[in-house]
């Protein structure tokens, strides 16, 4: 299936939610295409020419709103990891690519259930507007969900974000978060 691509520094993983401001004509067209058949679009990390992305996350548009500044606001949910091939660019510079679903993480049932990891995440997400407005998005009982939210929040390079998306061993991702959390001061803004 060919879907539009949105190269953006925002890092989302399955189950994550965010809001975007859309103003460029090509991304207004992306929203129209993504909404047309409710197939969504692929969020991927920006690269030097944006045509060498090979992995991203399929996102669905949950809601629209006109923002006070007249721009389009969309609420999105990340659904699943996908591989991207055969990237092409339209006349308006909108990218699209063929996508293929990547299987869910193996061994995700063995995600580390760490109370400190969960309690720190609660403190952080209490300040996050989309989760504050939609407490039904929260799933602190699911260690996998907790690890994925931390991976979205931690400051990784584009290369590291793509490596995280490509990692198939979920305990490796859990251990990465556990290793980095002692270094995080959640009181910083």
Residue 189 has pLDDT above 60, yes or no: no
188: tokens are 């910083």
Segment 41-94, tens digit of pLDDT: 999 998 877 667 799 999 999 999 998 998 999 999 999 999 999 999 999 999
**What are the pLDDT digits (tens) for 138-166?**
888 888 899 999 999 999 999 999 999 99
Q: Is the pLDDT of residue 109 over 70?
A: no
Confidence band for 113, pLDDT divided at 50, 70 and 90: low
Q: Which residues of 142-167 are buried (b: 16+ CB within 10 A; e: fewer)?
A: ebbbbbbbbbbbbebeeeebbebbee
Q: Give dist(CA 126, CA 133) in Å, integer.
A: 10
What are the φ/ψ torsions at residue 58 (nearest 5 degrees)? -70, 125
Q: How confident is the model at residue 101 (pLDDT cuts 50, 70, 90)?
A: very high
């Amino acid at each position: 299936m060919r879907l539009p691509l949105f190269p953006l520094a925002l890092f989302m993983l399955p189950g994550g939610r965010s809001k975007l401001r859309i103003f460029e004509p090509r991304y207004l067209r992306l929203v129209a295409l993504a909404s047309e058949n409710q197939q969504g679009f692929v969020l991927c990390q920006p690269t030097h020419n944006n045509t060498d992305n090979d992995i991203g996350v399929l996102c669905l548009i949950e809601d629209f709103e006109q923002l006070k500044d007249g721009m389009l606001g969309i609420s999105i949910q990340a659904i699943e990891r996908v591989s991207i091939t055969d990237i092409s660019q339209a006349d308006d510079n909108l990218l699209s690519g063929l996508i293929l679903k990547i299987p869910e993480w193996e061994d995700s049932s063995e995600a580390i259930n760490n109370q400190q990891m969960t309690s720190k995440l609660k403190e952080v997400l209490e300040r996050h507007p989309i989760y504050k407005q939609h407490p039904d998005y929260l799933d602190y009982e699911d260690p996998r969900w907790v690890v994925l939210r931390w991976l979205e929040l931690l400051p990784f390079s584009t290369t590291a974000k793509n490596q995280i998306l490509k990692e198939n061993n979920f305990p490796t991702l859990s251990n990465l978060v556990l290793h980095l959390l002692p270094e995080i001061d959640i009181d910083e803004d």
